[in-house]
Structure 1
Amino acid sequence: MKSDHHVILRVITKTLIPVIVLYGLYVQFHGDFGPGGGFQAGVILAVGVILYALVFGVPSAMRAVPPAFTRSVAAIGVLLYAGVGFWALLQGGQYLEYQALFQEEPGGHHGQHVGIILIELGVLFGVSGAMLTIFYAFAGRVAEIRDEDW
């Protein structure tokens, strides 16, 4: 019979990860009104996956959140961020001029809210995807070094 010395750590981690993800989403969507936003939320969400990898193993984390997915999410984040800027340009405004998104008069708030939410989502995707891609790259390299004969 195999004994698991890390059962408490695994149970606590399974309890903490949903709380970490929920807090990351709170930081993301509260960033419109106060401190927080896409960068902080992206780091928090990536930390949830990194915690999972540290406790359950990198291969298990790579099965749950594949490296191809993290790279795709990072690319989608950059495209979303840049896309909002180009959308404003196509509407006759300046790059990332939120009022131009819906051709509002100066002082309009609808474009401001939509633009900020989209930009912050782009930053969230870009940061979380990049952090996890970098973590997987380093974690894979450490595993290769560990397997080599010294």
Structure 2
Amino acid sequence: MRLDVVLRVTTKFILAPLLLFALYVQFHGDYGPGGGFQAGVIAAAAIILYGLINGLAAARRIVPDAVLERLIPAGVLIYALVGVAGMFTGENFLGYNHLAHDAVHGQEWGVFLVEAGVFVTVFSSMVGIFYAFAGRRRA
């Protein structure tokens, strides 16, 4: 891909807006379509695009394997802790009403934290799958 100047330059221009759009989808998920899953896939697609154009080693410098190995369970842990926190406050699992001073803010915080956990898990899983397939050698 060293000779494909148009692809390399276009990727450099589109990478930051892709990541910014992923953040927009993440934070807009409470008010409209979107949320953690969609934002995680968009952010992972940006890293995968970077890896396809600049090589797997360049992508691994941005998101190392050690970081992915910690992010995948961290996202699941965030999700589970939010659910268990609701149980400790007298609600059902993933009951958010008692997570703040009133039920409305508790719902907002609960949904935000669960979506953040989903974002982390989906992003790291998708990038990890790309690393696994891209790192294989042909037989």
- Please classify the TM superposition score into its range, dividing by the shorter chain length: over 0.9
Could you list the per-position Cα deviations for residues 22-52 of structure 1 after superposition, in whole angstroms to 9, with x for gaps in the alignment? 1000000000000000000000000000000
Query: Paired residues, what number?
Result: 138
Amino acid of the residue matched to residue 93 of structure 1?
A: E
SS in 2 for 1:92: coil
Aligned to 1:54: 52
Say which one has the larger Rg. Answer: 1
- 1:1-150 residue pairs with structure 2 within 5 A? 4-102=2-100, 104=102, 108-141=103-136, 144-145=137-138, 148=139
Partners of 2:101 and 2:8 in 1: CA distance: 52
Per-residue deviation, 1:6: 1.4
Q: 5+ unaligned residues in a row in structure 1: which ranges? A: none
When normalised by structure 2's length, the TM-score is 0.94
Per-residue deviation, 1:64: 1.5
Q: 5+ unaligned residues in a row in structure 2: which ranges? A: none
Identity of aligned residues (%): 48
When normalised by structure 1's length, the TM-score is 0.88
Asked if 2 retains the 8 angstrom alpha-carbon contact of 1:71 and 1:130, the reply is no
Amino acid of the residue matched to residue 75 of structure 2?
A: G
Amino acid of the residue matched to residue 7 of structure 2?
A: L
